[in-house]
Structure 1
Amino acid sequence: MRRVTYLLTIILLIALPGFAFRLQHYGNQFSFYTRLGFHKIRAPDFFLRGIPGHPELPVKYLHYIIPPNMKADSISITIKQMSQIWGSYYLYPAQPDVPLCSIPPWVPPDSIIYNSDSLYPNKFVEIVNCGIFDGARLVTIAVYPLQYRPRSRRVFLVSNITFEFRLSPDNIPRRAQIRGINAQRTYDAILSAVVENDEEIPLYYQSPTLVPDAPPPQPLTPATYTIITNDAISGMMEAFQPFADWLTDKGIPAVVYPLSLALNFPGEDDAEKLRNFIIDAYTNYGTVWVLLGGDGFFLPAPPGLPSYIVPFRKGWARDDCDQDTFTPPSDLYFSDMNGKWDYDGDRRYGEPTHDRVDIYPEVFVGRILTRNPAETQNWVEKILDYERYGSSDLSLFRQTTWIYDSLRSNLYPWPQTRARFPNYFTHYNFDAVGANIAVRALNCGTGLYQIYCHGSSTVIATRGRPEWWKVHSFWDEYRNEQHDGLNWLDNFWRYYVVYSIGCYNAAYDDFRFGNNPGDNIITDTTIADAFTDSYAGKGAVAFLGNTRYGYYDASRYLHDMFCQLLFASTGSPQAGVYSLGAAEGWSKAYYNGSYVRHSHNLFGSPENEPWINKPGTLIVEHPTYIPVGQTVQFTVRVSTENGPLPSVRVCLHKNDVLPHEIYEIGWTDESGQVTFEVFASTEGVLKVTCFRPRAVQEQVVPNYDQYLPSQTICRVGIDVGGEQAEKSELPKELSLTLHSSISASNNLKLSYGIPKDSRIKLVLYDRLGRLLTILKDEKTKAGNYTDVFNLNRLSYGIYWLVLKSSNETRTKKLVIVR
């Protein structure tokens, strides 16, 4: 095998009277290797594409920002420089990209093309998409770094190009009118990460009017994070509320919004009404994240209700093609605030050429496929444990697992996709293994799972034809290499994120589950359901997968771009797209094809930043008491074992007597501290939540540091002095407070309040409710107490602290990490 390496440099000049600047783009190395008697190109940072039978050549997609009142009509090249690459190359013919359920046909070289010596493809850059992102007008171009003369078998390197965008006037695009100051960081980070000419962002992008981040002053008002669920199902909104409370506490104002009100907006059907509500929430209320809380289809429908919990929209992957397989449910519809999804008025939404889909998502959408409060609680409890406490073994976040089938299905991860992961990751590979082995692998709880297998709504085929070894969403028969079920998972408190390219794994909208024996099962539990919400205390917190087909190349390219965005860590202070929703949404903007854009969706929280490293522990210091009725300077200091920690988001929230009486957000400075001016008018508890997003870590070298969030409390009381003060500070009820629910050391500090003289008992149980030890059992006078207990004999895990006094009991969860 001959291996030749080259370095590509492309200089891009965009010139127009009054609008000219020079950019430089550095490509990656190219190499050639032989396959089936042809020379195939290896280009890790490019996508290999081509018309079937034509030479397969690399292409790269780049985004540029242009003036918002202009549109790019065309592109013209004024200068190009090429040099021949030494050698003779019979380039591999591009093959059709087909669904995973199909056997790819072999397409031989097109004799007309391969017998010609005309330059191929004889295009160097071209516009492939124009659209709007948060009021910024973007243009996506395709760059072709190599050219080919087939008959003489010569390959040319395009060393530099000078080109011009031809622009013409256009209307100013719609943009959001208002947004929280901290919420704006998300959009600034994304633009900085994806736009090539990022130095021009201040010239051509205007942010909305920025206001302090705060929960809505009125009930039933959208917020920065809006959870939409069906209020007609009793208990559904209440089940999502703990998650909304946690988001608000950590500095992302969140609400649970009733679907019935969202559907009051105009529209041809409920899906359009819901989209119009989201557009209004984005435009006028600063909504950034949307979680659609409910399944898309279930039987039987309750009397008088439609057969869905939250509406969905099918996207047409082909013009005028109404086949079910080419109309996948697509939540891109709810992310795109500017596209015209039914431009031609034929009720076929998102057609590739007949409609005007805008591929740049402005709102980041996830969906949870719950049917009832119990399933909602399953997911909420998992995501809260995952975000607040990580895992029972934090080192698992430095590990990733690949489950694929190269033996029977020719499905395997690309080497460049593996290379996107930080180099400290340990990769575990399970290729064409039995179903029971795959379930064991899923039980290990590594931080990220990638599944490259055939599938259906209820099946992951770990080995394809003729064996068809299957992991089912539910399996209650004998477990072996042929069959096993996700209901048998046992990864309690070792939750993870799953990325799948398999077909139909998230087809939540129908009951047609494939053509193989055992696939046509009438059930609501898709693979996406089974991982995220069907079963309590097991599985994943998020599943990214297809509502219809996955494709051999397009799906792997989408995953590759997702990993590039998620793991980016160099360059500007906001160098990456670190949340699941933003990485999933923007990965689709780098691919010029409609099917996987529609089919691949996120089933989880779009705001979640997945754990990709063993997180450290924050050390937080602040006052533990402040008086009522006085303005005080409240300083929070955050550090680690290595010293002060800057860029930590600190949120103060008092919400126990008056709604959001205190709500302040600030960021620690270089000394690791931030000071607030606060005033409390009522007694109670002030929560202090510290969280450090990856997107604010300023570095010019790779840095994947992550930290478990911290939530501590400050008591708010009446300070009147002397004996009266002592009497007034007696607790009114039994209380138990952990200074931190995570103990990384051997000592646990806790506070408790006793309203009257009584005998108290403080007991420690394991996660299954078994008594471990009695920490205290004695008569105690009324008052407030603080104690420290040594926990060096306890291993990592979840425990329960129970304080008992007379007929009252208080319980707190304790998480120990080592």
Structure 2
Amino acid sequence: MHIISLPPSNEIGIEKMGVWDKINMDGCGYLLSLGKPMMPLKRIFIELPPHAKYNGIEFSAGERIEIKGTYHIIPSPEIILPSSIEKTEELHEEWERNYLNAYSSDKPYPGKIGKVIGFFTKGDKNYVIVDVYPFQYHPLSQKLFYYKHIDVKICYTNMLPKTKRGGESYDYIIITSKNLYDAITSTDFIEWKSSLGYKIKIVNVTDDLISEQEGKDLAQKIRNFLRNYYEIWGIKYVLIVGDYTTVPMRYCYPYGEVPTDAYYADLSFSDEKSWDSDGDGRYGEYGEDNPDFKAEVYVGRIPTNNIEKIKYTLNKIVRFEKDSGEWKNAALHAGAILFFENQDNSEYPFVDGARGLNAIEEDFMDGWNVSHYSEQEGIMPSLYKWNALNEEAFTNDWRNGKYAIVNWEGHGAPSGVSRLIWEWDDGDGVPESGSEIRQPSFFNTYSNVDDDYPSIVFAVSCNVGRPEPDEYGNLGIKMLTDPTFGCGVAVLSATRGAAVSAEFPPYSGAEGFCYYFNKYIIEKNASVGEALYEGKFEVHSKYGWEHYLEYQNLFDYNLYGDPSMKLLLNLPNVEIIEPDNYIYAFGFKLLPFFKPLIFGKVIVEARASSDTYKIEFYIDDNLKYVDETPPYQWTWKEFAFGKHEIKVVAYSENGKKAEDSIEVLKIL
């Protein structure tokens, strides 16, 4: 039995937002269902015993407490699909229907206290992913209730451990075809990655390791190969070399068809129990199939069959990783208007693409050199007074500058991205597509850029990563693989339409993916593959929509590039592993909690990379202890009360440093 203890009701923050009330709770995200009350949720990971087989789950709740007063809980924001005015209008109508149905009823919302989201494996540990809902709201009477704790009982069967095969170990797998094998091995890529400590194995799609797997098609055989070997070999990264015809993407069906490589990352269960659990051959159907989106391995792709372009791309990645110049702390941003207020009588709010980029700058890029552009033309320009966005200004800056990261938001197509300008009004005060709104490109496959300092690119745009050929070229593929263009060294982009939230925050949709991707590569020095998959999962966990467009976005965003590539190498890695989200009493770890709750002393432990020579332990930025030998530990015995920050700083032998921090509650 796992008891999820929650903070006392007097620590719950209820923020007034005009006529609405918003519940704020530390460590929680939100249940976001179009038009319905925006209620906190807590996602937890419950470790199963070694070799256990999950059989089921039971939820029960502690005392249900009414919070005094009446509350008008804010509804979940609307969703916008910039690529389709018609679909956006349908989404608005769906929001209105849900809003009227939810707020005219007094049924408790949500109507459940928890549910299983999925499963994942980390190292030799298996986890169940669970959401719990601490509150229930009665919209008509405006009453709000709260559970002091929620009990979760996991049912499982103990199984025999898996048999190890031959002692082989490969943490980096390259999947390709025989005719592309020599293109890979003739570059500096294998030697370089091996020098970083990776154990690499190249597997051709026709090799027995894949061809003898069970599967209805090649994609399923590849996934079954990875499922059978990722734990045994310790696979962390998978690089696919070849386009979607050589190594297939899995076409999924949340709304239309969406090609994705995420199918090869989420390996928890067989297709029959996850990606196609209803057995109809249509993968990834929202509400019918059950991928959990927690990556067991991180996947990237070099999306071309052209041998010279493969060589060029792999060598460019090596060149980028070897370069540790100051330009690695520089970023270029372009934020176009995504939607005008009441555009086409939609009643939607103003959606300025600069809003998400501004949040990234303020939260993660302190001390960086940032050049940024926003829409400065027309009747309704950007709220952010940045440089005026146009193709000449943006591409000249990119070509002549040195930027490790390029983030943009704008309307997308396979061959380019564009702005929205409300040029004139016929007198009704309504921005009207076609007649009053102009949509010029600010970057496309014919733009004048080069690869002198290629960038990690995150495109908050529809279709930039579309894998199928387009008559005007494929922008995401060209940025990575074309030697005459080549401005990207990793491209994070959507294969189909990318949906965004009408409000930001909450950090939902494609903008949320971009925000958390930048957080991971900047603050945590994560690889681009880890940053994409962990960033997507964090958004899904905290701010995911209960809607088919949530699935579409999660399938949509893929990595063209090397999943193990980092912004900067030679930085130590450090992570606080104790205390975790539990209650601790005088050195003993007791029950799961929404954040570490500590009574008395506690052991603080950090895990660090092998090149670390010392770790400093801080409480609220005050140095407390230095440990120079693993395991890196310090016992916090001092009296303290309330919220405090534990921080660790790791130093490597080459003079680099990295840090990690957590917030804890301490009593005594």
Question: Could you say if the C-alpha distance between residues 344 and 51 of structure 1 is closer, same or farther in structure 2, counting changes exceeding 3 Å?
Answer: closer
Corresponding position: 1:543 with 2:532: no
Question: Could you say if the C-alpha distance between residues 400 and 152 of structure 1 is closer, same or farther in structure 2, counting changes exceeding 3 Å?
Answer: farther
The equivalent of 1:605 in structure 2 is 562
Corresponding position: 1:442 with 2:398: yes
Corresponding position: 1:102 with 2:110: no
Identity %: 19
Q: Which amino acid aligns with 1:401?
A: H
Where 2:313 maps in the other structure, the secondary structure is: helix
Cα drift, residue 228 of structure 1: 2.4
Q: Among 445, 448, 457, which residue is 1:474 paired with? A: 445
User: Does structure 1 retain, via aligned residues, the 8 Å contact 2:259–2:495?
Assistant: yes
| Separation (CA, whole Å) in 1 of partners of 2:556 and 2:463 | 9
The equivalent of 2:36 in structure 1 is 54
The equivalent of 2:183 in structure 1 is 236
The equivalent of 1:333 in structure 2 is 263
| Separation (CA, whole Å) in 2 of partners of 1:668 and 1:151 | 58
The equivalent of 1:33 in structure 2 is 17
Q: Among 115, 129, 146, which residue is 1:140 paired with? A: 129
User: If the length of structure 2 is used for normalisation, what is the TM-score?
Assistant: 0.68
Q: Among 235, 247, 250, which residue is 1:313 paired with? A: 250
Structure 1 alignment gaps of length 5 or more? 1-12, 16-20, 180-208, 214-222, 297-307, 319-325, 476-484, 512-520, 570-576, 617-645, 650-665, 672-695, 711-818
Map of 1:442-591 to 2, 5 A cutoff? 442-443=398-399, 444-463=401-420, 466-475=437-446, 485=447, 488-490=448-450, 492=452, 494-508=453-467, 510-511=468-469, 521-522=470-471, 525-535=473-483, 538-553=486-501, 554-567=509-522, 578-590=526-538, 591=540
User: Does structure 1 retain, via aligned residues, the 8 Å contact 2:235–2:297?
Assistant: yes
Cα drift, residue 138 of structure 1: 2.0
| 1:156-202, Cα deviation, whole Å (9 max, x unpaired) | 6x4x63222222224649869479xxxxxxxxxxxxxxxxxxxxxxx
Cα drift, residue 361 of structure 1: 1.9
Where 2:155 maps in the other structure, the secondary structure is: strand
| 1:116-170, Cα deviation, whole Å (9 max, x unpaired) | 45543354444333455555332223344554443454556x4x63222222224
Q: Which amino acid aligns with 1:586?
A: E
Q: Among 156, 160, 173, which residue is 1:169 paired with? A: 156
Where 1:578 maps in the other structure, the secondary structure is: coil
Cα drift, residue 61 of structure 1: 2.9
Question: Could you say if the C-alpha distance between residues 352 and 122 of structure 1 is closer, same or farther in structure 2, counting changes exceeding 3 Å?
Answer: closer
| Separation (CA, whole Å) in 1 of partners of 2:561 and 2:239 | 8
User: Does structure 1 retain, via aligned residues, the 8 Å contact 2:2–2:153?
Assistant: no
Cα drift, residue 245 of structure 1: 0.8
Q: Which amino acid aligns with 2:243?
A: D
Cα drift, residue 383 of structure 1: 1.1
Where 2:179 maps in the other structure, the secondary structure is: coil
User: Does structure 1 retain, via aligned residues, the 8 Å contact 2:300–2:561?
Assistant: yes
Corresponding position: 1:421 with 2:381: no
Structure possessing the higher relative contact order (Cα contacts under 8 Å, 6 or more residues apart):
2
The equivalent of 1:382 in structure 2 is 316
User: Does structure 2 retain, via aligned residues, the 8 Å contact 1:174–1:338?
Assistant: no
Question: Could you say if the C-alpha distance between residues 369 and 522 of structure 1 is closer, same or farther in structure 2, counting changes exceeding 3 Å?
Answer: same
Cα drift, residue 227 of structure 1: 1.9
Question: Could you say if the C-alpha distance between residues 117 and 264 of structure 1 is closer, same or farther in structure 2, counting changes exceeding 3 Å?
Answer: closer
Map of 1:777-792 to 2, 5 A cutoff? none
Q: Which amino acid aligns with 1:558?
A: F
The equivalent of 1:84 in structure 2 is 67
Q: Among 274, 291, 306, which residue is 2:222 paired with? A: 274
Cα drift, residue 546 of structure 1: 1.0
The equivalent of 1:397 in structure 2 is 329
User: Does structure 2 retain, via aligned residues, the 8 Å contact 1:388–1:708?
Assistant: no
User: Does structure 1 retain, via aligned residues, the 8 Å contact 2:238–2:300?
Assistant: yes
Cα drift, residue 352 of structure 1: 3.7
User: Does structure 1 retain, via aligned residues, the 8 Å contact 2:612–2:651?
Assistant: no
User: Does structure 2 retain, via aligned residues, the 8 Å contact 1:176–1:282?
Assistant: no
User: If the length of structure 1 is used for normalisation, what is the TM-score?
Assistant: 0.56
| 1:518-570, Cα deviation, whole Å (9 max, x unpaired) | xxx525x422112211135841211111111211132233334444544555x
User: Does structure 1 retain, via aligned residues, the 8 Å contact 2:56–2:156?
Assistant: no
| 1:310-363, Cα deviation, whole Å (9 max, x unpaired) | 222212325xxxxxxx32111121123332323444322233444443433222
Corresponding position: 1:410 with 2:346: no
Q: Which amino acid aligns with 2:374?
A: D
Question: Could you say if the C-alpha distance between residues 56 and 501 of structure 1 is closer, same or farther in structure 2, counting changes exceeding 3 Å?
Answer: same
Cα drift, residue 504 of structure 1: 1.1
RMSD: 4.1
The equivalent of 2:591 in structure 1 is none
Question: Could you say if the C-alpha distance between residues 565 and 366 of structure 1 is closer, same or farther in structure 2, counting changes exceeding 3 Å?
Answer: same
| Separation (CA, whole Å) in 1 of partners of 2:216 and 2:248 | 13
Q: Please say which structure displays the higher CA radius of gyration.
A: 1
The equivalent of 1:774 in structure 2 is none
Cα drift, residue 366 of structure 1: 0.6
| Separation (CA, whole Å) in 1 of partners of 2:371 and 2:39 | 31
Q: Among 26, 48, 51, which residue is 1:66 paired with? A: 48
The equivalent of 1:347 in structure 2 is 281
Question: Could you say if the C-alpha distance between residues 330 and 468 of structure 1 is closer, same or farther in structure 2, counting changes exceeding 3 Å?
Answer: same
> How many correspondences in the alignment?
527
Where 2:16 maps in the other structure, the secondary structure is: strand
Corresponding position: 1:253 with 2:199: yes
| 1:776-814, Cα deviation, whole Å (9 max, x unpaired) | xxxxxxxxxxxxxxxxxxxxxxxxxxxxxxxxxxxxxxx
